[in-house]
Amino acid sequence: MHARSIAGALLLTAAVAVNVVQFPGIERMVNPRYHAIERMYTSDMFQIAYEDLYWAHDRFGLSLALSQVAPNARVLVPTPGPYDVDDGLIPNTLIWLRFVRNGPTVTRVHYPGGATIITDAGIDPLRYVVASGRGSSKGAPWVIAVAPTWQGTRREFVLLRWNSAWPGTRYAYQDVLMETSLLPDRIRQALDGAR
């Protein structure tokens, strides 16, 4: 019985030794982000994903760009509209808007004309674009439109779906984060009153 225990312990020790010896070779053969032991330069998972994953630009680009352009901004989401779903089913755009570092506060506002704000305002958002993304199967094309001058302590945007195709993509629309100060007073006041 004692010999069996010693033989079992020796086999187990040999198996561990073989794995330890093979470990560095296996680590060298796989992509660094799959290493079992890897110290990253940051703990920000969005930043790591944005730099390492080709599709992350499409999914995280809008929120990361907004966090740089207007840290801690307020984003109004008109309802009813394309983003009019309950919190358990929020589209990816809103989820990533909420979780990025320095990301905005997302507030739903009842505004029946939300789908036509850009048309009603008579504004071409492309005149005010400071950041954009082409989109892919992981996310729609997007633009961030900001006012040429800004005053105040906290910037405010409205998230809109603009029915204008981005050239060369499969989408017939773009997501637009437009600074509310670009909107005519009547629309801005209606949005303010809807909170």
pLDDT in tens, 4-25: 888 888 889 998 888 778 877 7
Question: Which pLDDT value is given to residue 144?
Answer: 93
Report pLDDT digits (tens) over 52-76: 666 666 667 788 788 888 988 998 9
Of residues 120 and 36, more confidently modeled: 120
CB atoms within 10 A of CB 55: 12
The encoded tokens of residue 47 equal 């930043």
Sequence-separated contacts (24+) of 160-169 with Cβ below 8 Å? 160/78, 160/81, 160/114, 160/117, 160/118, 161/81, 161/82, 161/83, 161/115, 162/118, 162/125, 166/134, 166/135, 166/141, 168/134, 169/134, 169/135, 169/136, 169/141
Among 19-28, 85-94, 125-134, 169-178, the range scoring the smallest mean pLDDT is 85-94
Closest of 101, 97, 59 to residue 76, by C-alpha: 97
The domain ranges of the chain are: 2-34, 45-193
Instruction: Kindly indicate the confidence band of residue 89, based on its pLDDT and cuts at 50, 70 and 90.
Output: very low
Q: Is the pLDDT of residue 93 over 60?
A: no
CB atoms within 10 A of CB 30: 10
- Above pLDDT 70, what percent of the chain? 76
Please state the rounded mean pLDDT for residues 89-94. Answer: 51
pTM of the predicted structure, to 2 decimals: 0.69
